[in-house]
Structures are given as structure tokens and as C-alpha cells.
Amino acid sequence: MGKTWRAAIVGATGYGGVELVRLLLRHPMVEIAAIYSSSNAGSPFADSYPHLNTIVTDQLEAIDVESMKTKADVVFLATPHGVSAELTPKLLDAGLKVIDISGDFRLKRGEVYEQWYKRPPAQAAYLERAVYGLCELFGEEARGADLIANPGCFPTAVSLGLAPLLAERWIDPATIITDAKTGVSGAGRGLSLMYHYSEINENTLAYKVNRHQHTPEIEQTLSRVAGQDVTITFTTHLLPMTRGILATSYAALTQPRTDEEAVDLFRRYYEGRPFVRIRPAGQYPATKEVYGSNYCDIGVSVDKRTNRITVISVIDNLVKGAAGQAVQNLNLMMGLDESTGLAFTPVYP
Amino acid sequence: MGKTWRAAIVGATGYGGVELVRLLLRHPMVEIAAIYSSSNAGSPFADSYPHLNTIVTDQLEAIDVESMKTKADVVFLATPHGVSAELTPKLLDAGLKVIDISGDFRLKRGEVYEQWYKRPPAQAAYLERAVYGLCELFGEEARGADLIANPGCFPTAVSLGLAPLLAERWIDPATIITDAKTGVSGAGRGLSLMYHYSEINENTLAYKVNRHQHTPEIEQTLSRVAGQDVTITFTTHLLPMTRGILATSYAALTQPRTDEEAVDLFRRYYEGRPFVRIRPAGQYPATKEVYGSNYCDIGVSVDKRTNRITVISVIDNLVKGAAGQAVQNLNLMMGLDESTGLAFTPVYP
Amino acid sequence: MGKTWRAAIVGATGYGGVELVRLLLRHPMVEIAAIYSSSNAGSPFADSYPHLNTIVTDQLEAIDVESMKTKADVVFLATPHGVSAELTPKLLDAGLKVIDISGDFRLKRGEVYEQWYKRPPAQAAYLERAVYGLCELFGEEARGADLIANPGCFPTAVSLGLAPLLAERWIDPATIITDAKTGVSGAGRGLSLMYHYSEINENTLAYKVNRHQHTPEIEQTLSRVAGQDVTITFTTHLLPMTRGILATSYAALTQPRTDEEAVDLFRRYYEGRPFVRIRPAGQYPATKEVYGSNYCDIGVSVDKRTNRITVISVIDNLVKGAAGQAVQNLNLMMGLDESTGLAFTPVYP
Amino acid sequence: MGKTWRAAIVGATGYGGVELVRLLLRHPMVEIAAIYSSSNAGSPFADSYPHLNTIVTDQLEAIDVESMKTKADVVFLATPHGVSAELTPKLLDAGLKVIDISGDFRLKRGEVYEQWYKRPPAQAAYLERAVYGLCELFGEEARGADLIANPGCFPTAVSLGLAPLLAERWIDPATIITDAKTGVSGAGRGLSLMYHYSEINENTLAYKVNRHQHTPEIEQTLSRVAGQDVTITFTTHLLPMTRGILATSYAALTQPRTDEEAVDLFRRYYEGRPFVRIRPAGQYPATKEVYGSNYCDIGVSVDKRTNRITVISVIDNLVKGAAGQAVQNLNLMMGLDESTGLAFTPVYP
């Protein structure tokens, strides 16, 4: 197609992978060169996803580094934990750039990964080499990088919501509590009773209470922004909807503030960042307002009665929480404007 | 029908009222004597609610205290805020017992009502006279009472989740944060863009952040249980489901505890109370597990990393959060077993 | 508990089975004597269904005819196709009464079963012995029977909607087309991509077009009512909701009729039947109006432009379409009033 | 922005209007010149739709033909019935091109409009002048037209599903029955109890049975394709989802056919049309597979038992059923490729 960059997608039969396909199809500078899957290799991709009929005519290919080396410049790994850790060194050795959507390269310390993921970590050298691609906070590091650890969905929403407060020392880092809510698609396409329609429709529940593997990822980011160790309480809830994350974060203010001052802080902090939108005082975002888009919308409220601040941040877990941010990282790696191919409007209603 | 008590329902065209009808129809000791509504008087109740065809053949009657005096022993007020404050004195003067499902008599201090509800409070003498009917905490006071202020849906779920911890001084009352999630039926049958299907389906949002009128009601209860003033941070979220409230409460422990000790505390505290069920350590309730029933299910988790405790409590907002607890209060008022007519199984799935 | 009849439930971990438990718990004349399951035997039933905590304390037992013989008078089979065919002769030989919720005994002709179910049929003698328990049409036959084939969910809704028209020769039997819509719970608790939340939420599709196994069951019933062979076109659609079936049936009228005449026909036909409710002309039932109840609600419309009649019939697929009708059949078998234990109000909203 | 054409949108606060905004924002040749609304004039459009924050900064303008004349080349009318009939002559006189999304110019015969819409029709001269813009059937007529009547959502799905069968005389036109299902967004943003979340969630119902105003529009199109008068039976159902229409159409075949022959017919008929996709034999489309896109996906099945054919056609009611087809018509009017600005992938899941 005459596009500049050739991308391979590995693990395209999951929801993160198929969302990458949707986004890259509209990217003006990147073409999808090949799609790989450990299952269904040899069958048309559209057999797994009929909505792609007539749009994607490619067959799924068996995972093969030599093939990727020939066909692609950059590889997106939408693979399960563990697979990325194994594939990545080979891909880098082959001279390819890698954007990993799994959790394998996000935590800098292997022992923390092992503790929360209950599996061996990737090699330390690669953990060090990986750039943690939370674009609005560390985007500069992505420019020219060859290995991006694309952030998790919860860490993206939570970290963007808390970073300005920690960076400016508005809150006491020891008091942070985040109550997160997610749609079901974050759990992927794998079957489980918990995601069986009749079980989760018209229902909600908390899960992995105090042991969600995104906790140390959030803490790593917040500690870096705060310049000191941050430990948080983090709870995740499953909601009867497909897409969307809403994170409600609470912390004690270090001094009295008003709603307007808080809005102003956030607006200054994210000035010039196209994908973070701050609501005016007294207004709070809904997940549907970012549906299908790469936005993170944020609302803040000061509770004068308790001197706490409440931050509401929302994203589409499959876009800003996965595939969209991966494309944003690609843009940064390649020296493009970060919104290239991503400047579209949420689907509403 | 030869039943012992005759009940009138005022405001039966709202969801709380129609749920009362469902429950009382199966109550062995109470008959529905008359149904009143400020709108639609003279038309069959089943015209407003076709699911009641052949079950309820009564017509709606215009609100009339004289009529109630003749026909009923007890009056359930499922009326909007303000209407209850006006009707109640007349009903009590007429010798009727009153169970008020609105917020008019829940707050003991009129000025607090005025501050949060933005309208004048009920007369002080009646605020004092009203028994706050959170059955598992103050049920003894309901026995023989003639005016019950039936608790709000959020206060029921939150207070039951936090009472054992405050009563036993396990937590620091200054650190309580509650993040609550509710289905849409809590907002009633009145139309609003916020409850328009296309707006709230596949969507979630926070609302009335730091200004929900249930905040002072929760604080009043928790203060009473704790024996000291309690101020909390309280946020409500709207979820794309019809029924159900899930409240996630966080607080700092006063000393280290284990999950098992926490479960044990809750089981002891609610021993013998038929409608509170405590999950074993590591398990958390889902709203669907109490759907259509009067249960409040609770799960607890200690986070050793932060020395905080997390409590998850769920109810059906229309049953334990409204009509079911109202019937439970009726049972207590009349000296019946509190579970009379309420011992049914959640509808699952 | 001093109840008259002892019931065993086999296959209680499916949705039909657990709904039977909900209904029988409130039945005044029947106690649940034992619960059997091919999986999870030895574990508490409430482990599979936490909403039953404190309500059902029984353990699941391994399927064992001798045990059933000792403990029960009647056995409900909520087992997969094939299992019922095998178990039933043994249970009858042991002197037990059987109500089978599977499809194994519904079709009188084994070869038709084989053709549509793609498996061998039950023994012919038992197919003959089985009473097809569509209570409003053939209820008399259930009295005193020892083997009931409980009708399928679609056949119940469709047959009740068309029977009056065929019995009174209002329609041409060669012109019947039924377009049926069902909630997801009809597919049971077994996992499948089709019932994965993220796939079927905010989605609808047709399935098993022109090859649904309920087709011959409907035709068998309609043929019997019409006194002649009836062949229909029948399509099923999956809807993003948990409970509920809505069947829209179309047929050519044999002579011009009005809406009012049609309503009148249906009211006469179902006079005295407590669970069929006919809407007035111009009104049509919604599935939620029968949610959790044993009702079948029906609306009719004559299209003068095409001389066709349209019938809308709704049921809760797990109640009137499975467990509720099974209890209704039990009542008929035992000589009780057919509504015993079933006279409850739909859960609305 | 240097784009070729300037478009005005009238009635942008409805769902059809806001979807037009989403689509036109990405159109390479058209810019949104102004947005008009009878309500909220003078306020920022993003106040009505917060998802447009930072994307659309325009204020809503009061409806004013002079302003449109100055600012725009083409006007999209996303206005209620009646308003379009009044505005359109003025706009045409002002030299503007008009694409009307309301029903005002779809029916060629004013008396039919009056009968089904219960209001006076537009002037006959304009009814005649209007091109009915069902692009895949009559797209040639749109080229160079100045007034397009954009088809209704149901007529689009139904007509595309039946046209090949009528054009090739495969079916008996007297036997057509269409059973249609729609998401709630088709009803717009106006409040009504029927679209109140707690009423329609976990619910489904038929509405406007045998009297939906889209019936004559479908018949007009089918008659034209068939070359003879066609009268159909048409029923609409409301489903608990936001977007999507699924139409199931039934008709008697004039001679025996196979599934494969039917698929082949449809593929030939729609060859070269980018937005119609035909599923292979035995496969049927789901509404989610066209979510947010301009596709119409179709599956067909022959029932040999009854010699009928069943056609399943799905669209996104707000895209191919409204705004997307309007843009497709714009493209045709302007001599552009019909898929300009519309070639995007459905949002899945």
C-alpha cells in the first residue's frame, strides 16, 4: 500500500489484537503486514471475527520469528503473559522493534513480577531495556526505543488520574485508595463462568480484592512520579458492560484546595496532550464518553468535609488501555505525531 | 382474606411501592387494603403495571387520610421527599402506624436535612418520634413503634458493612471511604436523560460526588454505633443494571488482623440475624446473589500491605434497600418474627 | 418438615435445576429430599450457587437410583439429553414418579427425535408412556401419570399462542411462521463463545435457523390440537438478556376477524387457567412482565391489510418454560390445585 | 480546512445528528460548517454531548436559512417529522442541496404519508423531486440530485434483504412477513417510559404491531423492485441494546432452491457494492458485527420442509440506517466514490 512502516500482530485472536487491527487499518503510515496466532493458523482471520469479512482477507500464520523478520518492521505482541517474555529477545535480535501488550515487561523488578503473576519473570536485561509506555507521563522515552512495555488498562486510568496530584505534592501518598470498575472485555475472549452472560449480566462484583496484578504496576508508576515509594489500596470490580474502565481514586490533600484549583492543576499538567481531557468543576466523565476512542477523561472533586480529593478517570480499556496506546507508542517510537491514526471521535451513544 | 393486619400503600406507582405490593401479596399476616396515588387515581393499578394483571384488581385511590383511617391499620409511604413530612402527622393523629420509605424522617437533626435535601425538614417532634428502622442494628426500637423511618438503600448496605468494625473499634473512624455502585432502579420511575436507556446502557459514571444526601444518614448511623462522630467520604456510581447495590468500604485497621479474624467478627456480630450472610475469607458477594431478596451479603478482606480492611456489602436496593426492609420493620412493629413473608430465595440467574 | 411429598432433583447445577430448587423451597406440600449431580458430588450445593448460602445446606449427591428410591416419591430430571432416557426406566421400575425436563420423552416418534437431536431416542414403550405436560392443553392427562415429559421453553410459548387459533380453525395451518426470541439463560450454564458476555452483550443474532430441535415438538403439539398435520417455519434469535422468551407467530386467517374477536377467542379458550393472561386489543406483553413467574402472557393483532393474525406470547423460560411448569405438572400429578406454590408475582422492574 | 464541500447539520442534538458529526469529522472532502438546533442555540454543542469535548468547539446556532445559505453547500436535516417538510423548500430555493433524514420525503404519495404518520404531507412537487436514497438499489438517481430522502432504518435493512429475491422473482410477493428487532437508540434521545432504563433493560416487547410507519416505505421500495404491488406483514420489536437492527424476513419460494443458490443470488446482486456483505451458507450475521459501521450484512436459509426462504439482514441503525447512508448519499450526489469517509471497521466487541 505504499505505507512507511510494516507491522506484524501476534495474538490477533484476542480482543486486544483485533482492536489493534481495527486501529491500524486506518493508520496512514502503517500497514498490517501479517497476523500471527498460536491457534487457528492457516485459517482466514475473518473466520474468527466475521465483522472483518471483506475487510481483512489475510490468513492467520503460525508464530514464526523468521517470517516476521522478513515481513515486518515492528511487532505488536498481544500474547498471554509468558509468551511475550520468550518471544521478545528473539524479535529484538532479529532487528525488529517490539511493542508488548502483555504484562511481561512492565515491572522493572523480576521478583515483584514473580510475586504477583505467580510465574517466572522475563530476563532482567530486557526488563531494563523496556520502556514503560505510559505516553502522557513518559512519552519522551518511547522516541527511538526498540522495546515498549505497553501499560495495563487499570494502570493507565489510575496513573493518569493521580500523577498530577503526586507530581505537585498535593496529596499524601500513604493515603491513596483506588476503587476501579471495568467492563468484561478486559478479561479477553477466554471462556470462564465469571464472564458467562447469564452470570454477569444484571450483576456486579469485586474480584482479586487486594491481590490484582496491576497493583505493583500502578505503584511503580506512582512512585516514580512522586519520587518516593507509594503503596496503595486497589480494588477491581466487574461491571455488566463490554468496554470501559472507570477508576475512582481517593487521597488526603496536604492542604485545603478548591474544585477549581484542582481542575486547573490537571489542565496545566496535561496541557498539549491530545488524549487527556479534563472536565470542568462539578462534572464527571462517563465511560461511554470515550467509547472506542483513545481518550482518558478526568473529573475531580474536593471534599472539604474530609479534606480528601476524589479523582474519576475513564478510558476504553481496549483502546487507551491496550491497542490505542500501543499505536500511540508506535507513533512516538517512529517519530510521528502521537495522535496519528488515532484522532477519532468516541462512538456515542 | 382473614389476615390480621390491613396495610395501605401510598405512592404505589413508584418502584418502591410496586415492590411493596409484590412482597405484601405473599405476607401471611398482612393484606393490602388499599393503594393510593397522587396520579392516576381512579384507574386500575394494573394499567400502570401490566405485570399485575389478574393479580391486583384494585383501582388507585386519591390520597385521603379519612379513607386510610377506615381501611387500614398501617400505612406505607412510598412518596417523594416532602410529601411524607406533610402526611405523617395526620396519619399518626388518626391512630395509624406509619412506615415511611422516603428520607423525610431519617435524619434526627432538621438542619442537616435542610442542608443536604435543600428543602425544609419535617417537624422536630416527629423527627424525634421516628424510629430509624435499620433492623439489624436498631431492630429492638421498632417493636411497638408507631412511626418508622425506613433507611435509604445506600445507608443500609454501607452501615451493615461497617457497623461491626466500628462497634468493636477495629477501625479508625476518621479513615472511612465508601465507594458505592447502584443499579438504575434506585432512581425510580421518573424520566431523566441520565436514566434514558441509550445513555446509561454500556456505560457507568459517578454522580453527586461528595454531595449525596445519603451521606449524613450514613454518618448518623455510624456515629451512633461508634459512640463518636464519624465523617466519611462517600461516592455513588450508576451502573448499567436495574437492581442491586454494591458498597465497597475502606478503613484503616487499629491493629493488624487476618481475613479469618474479620470474617469471624462479622459472623459473631450478625449471629442470629436471618438476612445478613457473611462470606468465607477470600470470597465476595455479587449483587445478583441477593436479587429480589431481603439479604445483605458481606465479604471482607484485610490488606496487610496497607493495614486497611475492605468490606464489600451487597443488597437488592428495592428489597433490603426499600420495600423488604419496610416489611421487616412492619414485622418488628407488630411483634412478628422479622422474616415473616420475607423468607424467599434470590432469583438467580 | 411434615410436607406430604418428597422430591429429588437430579442435575441441580444447571439453571433449570437451581430454579426448581427456588420454587420447591416455597411449595407448601413438597420438600426437597435430596439433590443429585454428576459433577461436584460431595460438595455443598451452595458452593456452586452462593446465592443459596444459609438457605440450602445440602450436599450434592452422586446420582444413585437406590438412594432416590429411599428418599423420594418423585424425581425431577434436569439432566442433559440422553441421561434422562437412560435413568427414567430405572426410576419408574423403582416405583418413583418422574418429571423429565430434558427433551428425551417429548417426541412420540423416536425417528423424529433421532433426526433433530442427532442421537438415539429413548425406548418406544417409554415414549408412549410419557405424558406431554403442556398443562393448559393436556393437563388432564397429567393427573395420576407417573412419567411427565415437561415441554421445552419455545414449544410452551409458541403452542399456547397458537392453540386457540388452530382448535377453532381460525387460521390456515400451512401458513404458520414463528419468529422466537430468547434470553441467554435458556442455553444453560455450559460455557461457549456464543454466550460469552462480551460477544452477546449489545448484540443479537439468529441461530439454528430452520433446524432448531424444538420445531418437531411444536409441530407435534399443534398437529394434535388442529387434528391434522401442521408444519411450521420456526426461527430462534438470541437476545442480550438473561431470562425471557417472546414468540411472534404469524398465520393467514381463514376469514376476516377483528382484534376484539381475537382477544375474545383467547379469553374463552383459556378461561379458568390461572397462568395464561390475555391482553386487551392493542396491547402486547413484554417479557419482563412475567419475569420470575409462571405466567404466559399473550397479545393478538389482526392485520386487515394482509388478513393475517399476529400473536405475541411471552414466558420466563426458566419458570413456565422449565421449572415452573414442572412444578405445575407435579401439582397435577398429585391431584393438587395446579397453582399450588406457584402463585407469585413477577419481579418488576 | 481546505475541504471541498461545506455541510450544515440541522437537529444535531438527536442521535442521528450527533452520529453525522462523528462521521463527517473524518470525511476527507467535507467540513462541518455549522450546526443548528431548535433547542440550546447559543450553547456549545459539547455541553449537550460531553464526548465531543475538545473535538467540536462549535456553538449550536438557531435554525436560520440565511445563515445556512452563507455557510454551507449542503444541509443535512436530522429534524423531526414535519420540520423537514417546512424547511426543505426554502433551502432548495436558496440553492442548497438537502439530505433529509426524517420521513417527510420518503413516501411518494402524500395520502399514504398522512395515513401512517397522522400529519399533513410535504408538498407534492417536492415529494416528486426527492430521490429516495437507498444507495444499493437506486444509487444512480442520487448522482446530481439536490434533494435526497434518506431511507428509514427498518426499510434499509428489510429492503436490502428482500430486493434480490423480488428482482429475480424467486419469491411470491404476497407471502412476505418481516419480523424486525431494533436497539433503543432508534427511538432517539427523547424521554419516554418505554425507553427508561429500568423498564427496557432485561426486557423485550413488540410495538406498533401492524401499524409501524415504516411499513408503506418498505412496500413502496419492494413494489418498485418487484415491478408490482407488494403488501407485507411487518412487526417491530424493541431489544435491550443501544444500536443495531436485525430483520428476519420470510417468503414462499416460487420454486425449490438450495442455500448455496440463494447465497449465490445475493452475491451476484450486490457485486461491487462495498457495504453489503453476504455470509456463506449456514452462517448468519449478528448486529454487533456491523456496530458503528456502514455495512449491511445478510445471511439466507432455505427451509426445504416448507419451501420458504428466510433472510437475516443486520445494520447499525444510526449508521447505515441513518447518518452513514446520508453520507453515502452525499458522496453519490457529489460524484465521489460512495465509500469516501465511510470505509471503517465495525467496533468489536
Does A210 sit within 8 Å of B310, measured CB to CB?
Answer: yes
- Please give the domain boundaries of chain D with CATH numbers for all domains: 5-129 (3.40.50.720), 154-317 (3.30.360.10)
Kind and range of the H or E element at B178? strand B177-182
Contacts of C201 in chain A (CB under 8 A): 184, 197, 201, 240-242
Please write the tens of the pLDDT for every residue from A282-292: 999 999 999 99
Closest CA to B96 of B53, B59, B66: B66
Rounded to whole angstroms, the Cα distance separating D104 from D150 reads 10
The grid cell for C285 is 406483553
In this prediction, residue B3 has a pLDDT band, given cuts at 50, 70 and 90, of: confident
- Contact between C274 and C257 under an 8 Å Cβ cutoff? The reply is no
The grid cell for D166 is 423480488
Please write the tens of the pLDDT for every residue from D231-240: 999 999 999 9
Of C183, C233, C242, nearest to D250 by CB-CB distance is C233
Of B198, B201, B303, nearest to A210 by CB-CB distance is B303
* Min Cα–Cα distance to chain D from C8, Å: 31
- Contact between A74 and A8 under an 8 Å Cβ cutoff? The reply is yes
Query: Percent of chain A, pLDDT > 90?
Result: 97
Instruction: Profile chain C (349 residues) by mean pLDDT over runs of 10 residues.
Output: 86 96 97 94 96 97 96 97 96 98 98 97 98 97 96 98 98 98 97 98 98 98 98 98 98 98 98 98 98 98 98 98 98 97 96
- Contact between B29 and B56 under an 8 Å Cβ cutoff? The reply is no
Tell which of C197, C201, C205 to mutate to test the A interface (max A CBs under 10 Å): C197
- Contact between D76 and D7 under an 8 Å Cβ cutoff? The reply is yes
In this prediction, residue A261 has a pLDDT band, given cuts at 50, 70 and 90, of: very high
Task: Tell me the β-bridge partners of C116.
Answer: none
Of A187, A191, A202, nearest to C193 by CB-CB distance is A191
- Contact between C316 and C290 under an 8 Å Cβ cutoff? The reply is yes
Of A18, A283, A348, nearest to D51 by CB-CB distance is A348
pLDDT at D2: 60
C-alpha angle A297-B252-B139 in degrees, rounded to nearest 5: 100
Helices (H), chain D: 15-24, 45-48, 65-71, 83-93, 110-117, 124-129, 135-142, 153-167, 197-200, 215-226, 259-269, 324-333
Taking CA–CA distances from C196, the nearest residue in chain A reads: A196
Q: Does B53 touch chain C (CB under 8 A)?
A: yes
Closest CA to B45 of B11, B7, B16: B11
Please write the tens of the pLDDT for every residue from D247-269: 999 999 999 999 999 999 999 99
Does B242 sit within 8 Å of C349, measured CB to CB?
Answer: yes
- Contact between B198 and D184 under an 8 Å Cβ cutoff? The reply is yes
pLDDT above 80: residue D61: yes
* Min Cα–Cα distance to chain C from A200, Å: 7
Sheet holding A30-36: strands in order across?
A: A30-36, A5-10, A74-77, A97-100, A147-149, A131-132
Q: Does B316 touch chain C (CB under 8 A)?
A: no
pLDDT at A113: 98
pLDDT at D345: 97
Q: Does C203 touch chain A (CB under 8 A)?
A: no
ipTM over the 0.85 cut-off: yes
- CA C317 → CA B309, C153, C245, distances in Å? 41, 5, 6
Peptide bond into B28 cis (omega under 30): no
Contacts of D49 in chain A (CB under 8 A): 348
Q: Mean pLDDT, to the nearest integer, of B307-318? A: 98
Rounded to whole angstroms, the Cα distance separating D244 from B202 reads 14
Dump the DSSP string for C88-154: HHHHHHTT-EEEE-SSTTT-S-HHHHHHHHSSPPPPHHHHHH-EE--HHHHHHHHTT-SEEEPPPHH
Taking CA–CA distances from D238, the nearest residue in chain B reads: B197
Rounded to whole angstroms, the Cα distance separating D148 from D225 reads 19
Dump the DSSP string for B242-259: SS-EEEEEEEEBSS---H
The torsion angles phi and psi of B75, rounded to 5 degrees, stand at -120, 125
- Contact between D90 and D122 under an 8 Å Cβ cutoff? The reply is no
Using the CB atoms, write b or e for C89-104: b if 16+ within 10 Å. Answer: bebbeeebbbbbbbbb
Rounded to whole angstroms, the Cα distance separating C12 from C32 reads 11
Q: How many H helices and E strands in chain A? A: 12, 13
DSSP state of B80: P
Residue ranges of D 279-308 with Cβ closer than 8 A to chain A = 279, 283, 285-286, 288-293, 297
What is Dmax (Cα atoms) for chain A?
62
Please write the tens of the pLDDT for every residue from D124-155: 999 999 999 999 999 999 998 999 999 999 99
- Contact between A106 and A151 under an 8 Å Cβ cutoff? The reply is yes
Q: Does A241 touch chain B (CB under 8 A)?
A: yes
Place of cell 454501607: B158
| Cβ contacts of B202 within 8 Å, gap of 6 or more | A183, A241, A242, A243, A244, A288, A291, B240, C201, C202, D242
Please write the tens of the pLDDT for every residue from A181-228: 999 999 999 999 999 999 999 999 999 999 999 999 999 999 999 999
Q: How many CB atoms lie within 10 A of CB A43?
A: 12
The grid cell for C49 is 450457587
Does A292 sit within 8 Å of D52, measured CB to CB?
Answer: no
- Contact between A60 and A45 under an 8 Å Cβ cutoff? The reply is yes
The grid cell for A178 is 483506588
Does D239 sit within 8 Å of C291, measured CB to CB?
Answer: no
Does B242 sit within 8 Å of C289, measured CB to CB?
Answer: no
Rounded to whole angstroms, the Cα distance separating D155 from D230 reads 14
Tell which of D207, D233, D307 to mutate to test the C interface (max C CBs under 10 Å): D233
Using the CB atoms, write b or e for A83-102: b if 16+ within 10 Å. Answer: bbbebbbebbeeebbbbbbb
* Min Cα–Cα distance to chain A from B249, Å: 10
Taking CA–CA distances from B23, the nearest residue in chain C reads: C345
pLDDT at B279: 98
Q: Does D197 touch chain B (CB under 8 A)?
A: yes
Please write the tens of the pLDDT for every residue from D281-337: 999 999 999 999 999 999 999 999 999 999 999 999 999 999 999 999 999 999 999
| Cβ contacts of A220 within 8 Å, gap of 6 or more | A106, A107, A108, A112, A132
Does B202 sit within 8 Å of A241, measured CB to CB?
Answer: yes
* Min Cα–Cα distance to chain C from A120, Å: 30
DSSP E strands in chain C: the ranges are 5-10, 30-36, 74-77, 97-100, 131-132, 147-149, 177-182, 205-207, 233-238, 245-252, 276-278, 296-303, 308-315
| Cβ contacts of B70 within 8 Å, gap of 6 or more | none
pLDDT above 50: residue D83: yes
CA A182, distance to chain mean position in Å, is: 13
Rounded to whole angstroms, the Cα distance separating C22 from C76 reads 14
Please write the tens of the pLDDT for every residue from B29-44: 999 999 999 888 999 9
Rounded to whole angstroms, the Cα distance separating B310 from A263 reads 29
Query: Percent of chain D, pLDDT > 70?
Result: 99
The grid cell for A222 is 506512582
Rounded to whole angstroms, the Cα distance separating D76 from C33 reads 68
Does A202 sit within 8 Å of D15, measured CB to CB?
Answer: no
Does D15 sit within 8 Å of B197, measured CB to CB?
Answer: no
pLDDT at C1: 45
* First CA to last CA distance, chain D: 34
- CA C230 → CA C276, C298, D195, distances in Å? 23, 21, 38
Contacts of C240 in chain A (CB under 8 A): 197, 201
- Of the CA atoms within 13 Å of residue A162, those in its CB half-sphere come to 35
The grid cell for D131 is 430521490
pTM above 0.90, yes or no: yes
Rounded to whole angstroms, the Cα distance separating A189 from A187 reads 7
Q: Mean pLDDT, to the nearest integer, of D64-75? A: 97
Contacts of D204 in chain C (CB under 8 A): 181, 239, 241, 244, 246, 286-287
Does A235 sit within 8 Å of B310, measured CB to CB?
Answer: yes
The grid cell for A107 is 515491572
Of C195, C198, C241, nearest to A184 by CB-CB distance is C198
Q: Does D202 touch chain B (CB under 8 A)?
A: yes
Mean pLDDT (chain A) is: 97
pLDDT at C142: 96
- Contact between C295 and C345 under an 8 Å Cβ cutoff? The reply is no
Q: Does A210 touch chain C (CB under 8 A)?
A: no
Query: Percent of chain D, pLDDT > 90?
Result: 97
Rounded to whole angstroms, the Cα distance separating B128 from B76 reads 19
Q: Does C232 touch chain D (CB under 8 A)?
A: yes
Sheet holding A233-238: strands in order across?
A: A205-207, A233-238, A177-182, A245-252, A308-315, A296-303, A276-278
Q: Does D322 touch chain B (CB under 8 A)?
A: no
pLDDT at C2: 60
Q: Which residues of D participate in catalysis according to the annotation?
A: 153
Q: Angle formed by the axes of helices C153-167 and C135-142, to 10°? A: 100
pLDDT at B2: 60
Rounded to whole angstroms, the Cα distance separating C38 from C30 reads 24
Task: Tell me the β-bridge partners of C251.
Answer: C309
pLDDT above 80: residue D1: no
pLDDT at A2: 60
The grid cell for C259 is 382484534
SS3 A147: strand
Please write the tens of the pLDDT for every residue from D219-228: 999 999 999 9
- Contact between C170 and C265 under an 8 Å Cβ cutoff? The reply is yes
The grid cell for A128 is 531494563
